[in-house]
Amino acid sequence: MSAEAADREAATSSRPCTPPQTCWFEFLLEESLLEKHLRKPCPDPAPVQLIVQFLEQASKPSVNEQNQVQPPPDNKRNRILKLLALKVAAHLKWDLDILEKSLSVPVLNMLLNELLCISKVPPGTKHIDMDLATLPPTTAMAILLYNRWAIRTIVQSSFPVKQAKPGPPQLSVMNQMQQEKELTESILKVLKEQAADSILVLEAALKLNKDLYVHTMRTLDLLAVEPGMVNGETESSTAGLKIKTEEMQCQVCYDLGAAYFQQGSTNSAVYENAREKFFRTKELIAEIGSLSLHCTIDEKRLAGYCQACDVLVPSSDSTSQQLTPYSQVHICLRSGNYQEVIQIFIEDNLTFSLPVQFRQSVLRELFQKAQQGNEALDEICFKVCACNTVRDILEGRTISVQFNQLFLRPNREKIDFLLEVCSRSINLEKASDCLKGNMAAFLKNVCLGLEDLQYVFMISSHELFITLLKDEERKLLVDQMRKRSPRVNLCIKPVTSFYDIPASASVNIGQLEHQLILSVDPWRIRQILIELHGMTSERQFWTVSNKWEIPSVYSSVILGIKDSLTRDLVYILMAKGLHCSTVKDFSHAKQLFAACLELVTEFSPKLRQVMLNEMLLLDIHTHEAGTGQSGERPPSDLISRVRGYLEMRLPDIPLRQVVAEECVAFMLNWRENEYLTLQVPAFLLQSNPYVKLGQLLAATCKELPGPKESRRTAKDLWEVVVQICSVSNQHKRGNDGRVSLIKQRESTLGIMYRSELLSFIKKLREPLVLTIILSLFVKLHNVREDIVNDITAEHISIWPSSIPK
């Protein structure tokens, strides 16, 4: 052997080899293999995969001599496979959390039914008719496991689930998924019909005062060896895994509580039962401690359930000190005691106990009530928003748009309240340097954003400000303020408030309006509008320029915004963004749209979706005008967003048809023919003519290499184009008595107008697509004299030189 061959042999032999996966049938051949396999640190296949494989093989139907499908035979092989599946579940200690996470409903249903069968529960017998106290321990435990799983599955099915995006269509996979879905639905239907009985069985279990036992691998082996020992060792009080009464009751209480809580959405009286069960679960967890290996409860979820029950059915003997902050806030909201909510939020700024999302949801609720006409809540909304903003600042988050909007016109009361919140939200003796730095930066930025120097002096002379900012920082801030107003001395009486300037200053308003027309900086536009609205509240500044235009489908939504400043700002940002996009100034358009998106996200989901759609169109234009010209494919994220827009079915969202047109052209230009042909949802083909035309073009491109196969798609495309381009000839006598020939398109024939088709063609640049369209138009011109004679000559110039004319 040469030296090179020896080196290769040594390198090959030294590589670690992946151990081969153990096949399911090997466990049939060697009895002791299963326990050896499960004792491995990371067995492959995993225990839950083994359960699936064993039950799948045991439930395969057979075919008789007449080729008729028969149910799986009850032979020794299948019985051993089912026993192996039970032994794996026993190895997992029958932990429903693990089993439910990894096994589908049909598989787990089959597994637990096998457990009932091997535990000598007669098939067809109602569990409610069986006395748990007189049953053998393992039989009673099997019944409890099944009924616990039943109500857990019902509860889980009531939660919304995000649908997974379908991959490439495969007929066998789709059929299998459909069969599993139908089987799951039928099992759920049965479980829901038996839900009342399952709850009664579990309620009866709470009255048991004896320990139970669940089957282990050893007891299952004993059953297999000596099936006659039904009442022998396998059913005695010393066999199997011991489940203490407290552990069993803890699990049952938790599952019953979840079931009652789910039923409370239709019957609020049931929430009392849920509360009782959840609080009993907490007591039992305290009794059991951390020694239990069988009883596993999600304590975070349990705490959430308890807090929700506290809010929905607060205990009558609880005092305000015993209530959780959640309960106190909800009680105050129901009673209209909003001042108490503000005090709770200020106190929470020290403890950080309430989640930020909960505090934001309270503010949204108050905003909704204020928008419904309750003007008394405007001040409350500002105060709650100020509390939330200080909490955000302390935790290092940015200031929300809502706070900036509410703080546009500050007054002495708002400044006083903000300083009070800041003072009470930080303990200067115990606070870290990070918290102090965040608070100091916030106060300094508030000062820099104020126009009225009187308010600046209020903040800069406050004790908290003096404590947090060093002398050098305060001096620097004063210098910055003096540069903004060089003639004003902060030590003397401040000048009149900016918002007190009389509206007669028409020269200043005219100058600001001129700046508003010229500016494309979102921040500067906002500042100008704030100043203009401070001078006069009678003007609508979105009408300053007659060149600011937005699509009519959007104008009704935007002009319906109640706050005049917000309305002007949204309208102008969108109009300027659309203009910048038209003149291909994409960088400024993106800045304007991003600012508009941030603004509308706070108060209008409808306008938020509108802005996301416009930003998608902008990104398409940006790519086509940039890297797309050199042939670089768009990023996968952009293609996914285009698909998401086409498949969007949100009600009441104003949509521009040009966005759909550009999206379909984008998919054709980048050869996404597979998606347009096979994956487009059916509802799109019926509702969107551009998608229909795009599908026909994509199908023709896809099947063009095979002449026989492409005839059908080409014929469909030809018929649609003929319908679009058809005209009807009408004779009309004029005033002079002569008969003139009028060509008029029959709008009922095609899926779109001829002008729309020509506009769509201008957006296409994929050579194969353009070749197909050119061929159609040439044939149209030569074959049908009554159909559009000038269509080819009119638009032949849009095609690249690579296309033969």
What digits encode the pLDDT tens for the residues 101-114?
888 888 888 888 88
- Rounded to 10 degrees, the C-alpha dihedral 771/775/776/780 comes to 150
Helices (H), 583-669: 586-601, 605-625, 636-646, 657-669
Q: What is the pLDDT of residues 609-621, one digit of tens each?
A: 999 999 999 999 9
State the total domains in the chain: 4
Contact 387, 358 (CB under 8 A): no
Query: Is position 708 within any domain?
Result: yes
- Which among 434, 452, 484 is the end of a domain? 484
Q: Which has the minimum average pLDDT: 174-183, 394-403, 608-617?
A: 174-183
Residue 648 backbone phi and psi in degrees, to 5: -70, 135
93 and 237 belong to one structural domain: yes
- Which among 433, 455, 484 is the end of a domain? 484
Query: Is position 676 within any domain?
Result: no
Cis peptide before 635 (omega within 30 of 0): no
Distance separating alpha carbons of residues 642 and 616, to the nearest angstrom: 7
Closest by CA to 254, choosing from 209, 309, 208, is 309
Q: What is the pLDDT of residue 797?
A: 44
Q: Which has the minimum average pLDDT: 247-261, 362-376, 481-495?
A: 481-495
Structural domain including 708 reads 681-729+739-804
Distances from the Cα of 697 to the Cαs of 115, 382, 689, 754, in angstroms? 57, 56, 12, 17
Grade residue 802 by pLDDT with cuts at 50, 70 and 90. very low
- Cβ-count burial of 80 within 10 angstroms (0-12 exposed, 13-18 middle, 19+ buried)? middle
For residue 123, the tally of other CB atoms under 10 A from its CB is 7
Q: Between 220 and 390, where is the model more confident?
A: 390
Residue 43 backbone phi and psi in degrees, to 5: -65, 140
- Across 453-458, average pLDDT: 75
454 and 517 belong to one structural domain: no
* Residues paired with 214 in a beta bridge: 241
Q: What is the mean pLDDT of the chain?
A: 76
AA identity, residue 258: A
523 and 463 belong to one structural domain: no
Query: Is position 13 within any domain?
Result: no
Query: Is position 279 within any domain?
Result: no
Tokens of 243: 């489940």
pLDDT at 18 over 60: no
- Cβ-count burial of 637 within 10 angstroms (0-12 exposed, 13-18 middle, 19+ buried)? exposed
Residue 214 backbone phi and psi in degrees, to 5: -115, 150
Strands 69-70 and 212-214: unpaired
Contact 571, 583 (CB under 8 A): no
Q: Which has the minimum average pLDDT: 69-73, 170-174, 523-527?
A: 170-174
Q: What is the pLDDT of residues 469-508, one digit of tens each?
A: 877 777 777 666 656 543 333 333 333 333 333 333 445 7
Residue 432 backbone phi and psi in degrees, to 5: -75, 165
**Residue 697 C-alpha from the chain's centroid:** 33
Q: What is the pLDDT of residues 275-293, one digit of tens each?
A: 888 888 888 887 776 566 6
Q: What is the pLDDT of residue 225?
A: 65
pLDDT at 622 over 60: yes
Distances from the Cα of 217 to the Cαs of 91, 92, 232, in angstroms? 7, 10, 16
Distances from the Cα of 303 to the Cαs of 254, 281, 306, 617, 802, in angstroms? 11, 10, 5, 45, 68
234 and 85 belong to one structural domain: yes
Phi-psi bin for 289: left (phi > 0), alpha (psi -120 to 50), beta? left
Instruction: Report the chain's terminal Cα–Cα distance, integer Å.
Output: 68
Query: Is position 660 within any domain?
Result: no
Residue 744's SS3 state is strand
688 and 790 belong to one structural domain: yes
Tokens of 552: 């009519």
Q: Between 796 and 19, where is the model more confident?
A: 19
Query: Half-sphere exposure of 470 toward its Cβ, with a 13 Å CA cutoff?
Result: 3
- Which among 243, 273, 299 is the end of a domain? 243
694 and 757 belong to one structural domain: yes
Tokens of 311: 């809010």
- Across 554-579, average pLDDT: 90
Q: What is the pLDDT of residue 292?
A: 64
| Element of type H or E holding 10 | helix 3-14
Q: What is the pLDDT of residue 230?
A: 43
CA-CA-CA-CA torsion sign (498, 502, 505, 511): positive
Closest by CA to 251, choosing from 172, 141, 156, 163, is 141
Tokens of 32: 């002791």
Q: Between 700 and 642, where is the model more confident?
A: 642
Query: Is position 8 within any domain?
Result: no
508 and 480 belong to one structural domain: no
Most confident of the following: 50-59, 211-220, 562-571: 562-571
Q: What is the pLDDT of residues 716-757, one digit of tens each?
A: 777 777 777 775 444 344 444 443 434 444 444 577 787 777
Q: Between 350 and 122, where is the model more confident?
A: 350
Residue 204 backbone phi and psi in degrees, to 5: -65, -35
Q: What is the pLDDT of residue 573?
A: 94
Percent of the chain surpassing pLDDT 90: 7
Query: Is position 32 within any domain?
Result: yes
Contact 109, 187 (CB under 8 A): yes
587 and 444 belong to one structural domain: no
Distances from the Cα of 571 to the Cαs of 265, 310, 580, 605, in angstroms? 41, 45, 14, 16
pTM reported for the whole predicted model: 0.46
**Residue 119 C-alpha from the chain's centroid:** 44
- Across 113-136, average pLDDT: 83
Q: Between 445 and 748, where is the model more confident?
A: 445
427 and 541 belong to one structural domain: no
pLDDT at 14 over 60: no
- Across 60-68, average pLDDT: 70
**How big is the chain by its Cα radius of gyration, in Å?**
37
Contact 363, 384 (CB under 8 A): yes
Tokens of 636: 């996968």
465 and 508 belong to one structural domain: no
User: Which residue is it, tokens 């996009």?
Assistant: 581
Q: What is the pLDDT of residue 743?
A: 43
Residue 57 backbone phi and psi in degrees, to 5: -70, -35
371 and 468 belong to one structural domain: yes
Query: Is position 479 within any domain?
Result: yes
| Element of type H or E holding 213 | strand 212-214
**Residue length, the chain?**
805
Q: Which has the minimum average pLDDT: 21-30, 255-264, 521-530, 620-629?
A: 21-30
pLDDT at 320 over 50: no
Distances from the Cα of 49 to the Cαs of 21, 43, 52, 377, 684, in angstroms? 12, 10, 5, 57, 39
477 and 522 belong to one structural domain: no
pLDDT at 342 over 70: yes
